[in-house]
Amino acid sequence: MRISELSESTGVSVATIKYYVREGLLSPGRKLAERLADYDDQHVRRLRLLRVLRDVGAVPVGALKALVEATQDRRTTIHDMFGEACDALRVETAVPATPDEHTRELADRIVERAGWDQVRPDAPERDQLAAIIRVILDSGLRTDPEGAATYLPLVDAIAAYEIDQVDDSQDRETMMEQMVLGQVVLGEFLLSLRRLAHEHHSALRFDGRG
Amino acid sequence: MRISELSESTGVSVATIKYYVREGLLSPGRKLAERLADYDDQHVRRLRLLRVLRDVGAVPVGALKALVEATQDRRTTIHDMFGEACDALRVETAVPATPDEHTRELADRIVERAGWDQVRPDAPERDQLAAIIRVILDSGLRTDPEGAATYLPLVDAIAAYEIDQVDDSQDRETMMEQMVLGQVVLGEFLLSLRRLAHEHHSALRFDGRG
The pLDDT tens digits of the residues spanning A15-41 come to: 999 999 999 899 899 988 888 899 998
User: Which residue, among A87, A193, A209, would best test binding to B if mutated, counting the most B CBs under 10 Å from its CB?
Assistant: A193
Is A134 inside any structural domain?
Answer: yes
- Identify the pLDDT of residue B174: 79
Range of the domain at A146: 90-155
Residues in chain A within 8 Å Cβ distance of B146: none
- Identify the pLDDT of residue A115: 95
Is A104 inside any structural domain?
Answer: yes
Contact between residue B159 and residue A194 where contact means Cβ atoms under 8 Å apart: yes
Is A3 inside any structural domain?
Answer: no
Q: What percent of chain A has pLDDT over 90?
A: 33
Q: What is the DSSP string of chain A?
A: --HHHHHHHHT--HHHHHHHHHTTSSPPPEEEETTEEE--HHHHHHHHHHHHHHHTT---HHHHHHHHHHHH-TTS-HHHHHHHHHHHHHTTS-------HHHHHHHHHHHHHHT-TTS-TT-HHHHHHHHHHHHHHHHT-S--GGGGGGHHHHHHHHHHHHHHTS-TTS-HHHHHHHHHHIIIIIHHHHHHHHHHHHHHHHHHHHTT--
Pick from A99-108, B92-101, B103-112: least confident: B92-101
* Count of domains observed in chain A: 1
Handedness of CA B168, A140, A199, B163 (dihedral sign): negative
Is A65 inside any structural domain?
Answer: no
Report the predicted TM-score, pTM, of the whole model to 2 decimal places.
0.85
Instruction: Summarize pLDDT for A160-194 with one digit per residue, the tens.
Output: 999 988 888 887 777 878 888 888 889 889 999 99
Is A36 inside any structural domain?
Answer: no
Nearest residue on chain A to B186, alpha-carbon basis: A136
Nearest partner of B25 among B47, B10, B5, judged by Cα: B47
Beta carbons of B191 and A193 less than 8 Å apart: no
Is B100 inside any structural domain?
Answer: yes
Whether the complex's predicted ipTM surpasses the cut of 0.90: no
Q: What is the DSSP string of A64-124?
A: HHHHHHHHH-TTS-HHHHHHHHHHHHHTTS-------HHHHHHHHHHHHHHT-TTS-TT-H
Pick from A120-134, A136-150, B121-135, B189-203: least confident: A136-150
**Which residues are A38's β-sheet partners?**
A30
- Identify the pLDDT of residue A206: 83
Residues in chain A within 8 Å Cβ distance of B209: 77-79
Residues in chain A within 8 Å Cβ distance of B12: none
Q: Which of B79, B133, B197 sits opposite A159 (nearest CB)?
A: B197
B160 to chain A, closest Cα gap in Å:
6
- What pLDDT band is residue B126 in, cutting at 50, 70 and 90? very high
Q: What is the CA radius of gyration of chain A?
A: 21
For helices B14-22 and B41-55, the axis angle rounded to 10 degrees is 100
Is B102 inside any structural domain?
Answer: yes
Q: What percent of chain A has pLDDT over 70?
A: 94
- Identify the pLDDT of residue B170: 81
- Identify the pLDDT of residue A84: 77
Q: Which of B95, B164, B207 sits opposite A77 (nearest CB)?
A: B207
Nearest residue on chain A to B152, alpha-carbon basis: A193
- What pLDDT band is residue A130 in, cutting at 50, 70 and 90? very high
- Identify the pLDDT of residue A117: 95
Residues in chain A within 8 Å Cβ distance of B185: 132, 135-136, 139, 141
Is B104 inside any structural domain?
Answer: yes
pLDDT at position B121 over 60: yes
Pick from A29-33, B9-13, B54-58, B183-187: least confident: B54-58
Q: State the Cα–Cα distance between residues B132 and B95, nearest whole angstrom.
A: 6
Residues in chain A within 8 Å Cβ distance of B195: 86, 90, 125, 128, 183
Beta carbons of B86 and A150 less than 8 Å apart: no
Q: Which of A77, A135, A183 sits opposite B206 (nearest CB)?
A: A77
Nearest residue on chain A to B204, alpha-carbon basis: A118
